[in-house]
């Protein structure tokens, strides 16, 4: 039973990390082309901010998937070195995710206030 759980966990974590990679790559490619278009068309600050916000949302989604994979990995990890490595990676991803989400929320609030006035 433990062997089956280990195999399922490894495959699940790999698949979830692959999904995170797809999310981050798609978001980054989309942001690249949107930013290129904005630069070539002399877009205003609001349009640039919208591009950044959309990219940040993609990154938050990707980081969330990666964090889920980290949590799954800890279920079958037997070595304290591996647990420490996973914990450090998870802490960094959580830190990045927290600040990205905070920035996105602050900008949304500013946009709502500006739209309301």
Q: Which tens digits make up the pLDDT trace of 37-76?
A: 998 887 787 888 889 889 998 998 998 999 899 888 887 7
What's the mean pLDDT in 24-29?
Answer: 98
Q: How high is the pLDDT of residue 30? A: 97
**pLDDT band (50, 70, 90) for residue 3:** confident
Contact 64, 17 (CB under 8 A): no
Which residue, among 66, 58, 56, 78, has the nearest Cα to 17 in the 3D structure? 66
- Total residues belonging to the chain: 117
Q: How high is the pLDDT of residue 23? A: 97
User: For all residues of the chain together, what is the average pLDDT?
Assistant: 88
Asked if pLDDT for residue 117 goes beyond 90, the answer is no
């Amino acid at each position: 039973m433990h062997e089956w759980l280990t195999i399922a966990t490894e495959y699940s974590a790999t698949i979830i990390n692959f999904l995170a990679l797809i999310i981050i790559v798609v978001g980054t490619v989309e942001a690249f082309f949107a930013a290129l278009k904005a630069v070539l068309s002399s877009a205003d600050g609001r349009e640039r901010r919208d591009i950044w916000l959309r990219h940040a949302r993609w990154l938050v989604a990707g980081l969330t998937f990666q964090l889920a994979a980290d949590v799954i990995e800890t279920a079958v990890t037997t070595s304290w070195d591996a647990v420490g490595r996973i914990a450090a990676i998870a802490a960094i991803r959580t830190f990045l995710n927290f600040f990205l989400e905070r920035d996105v929320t602050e900008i949304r609030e500013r946009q709502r206030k500006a739209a309301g006035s």
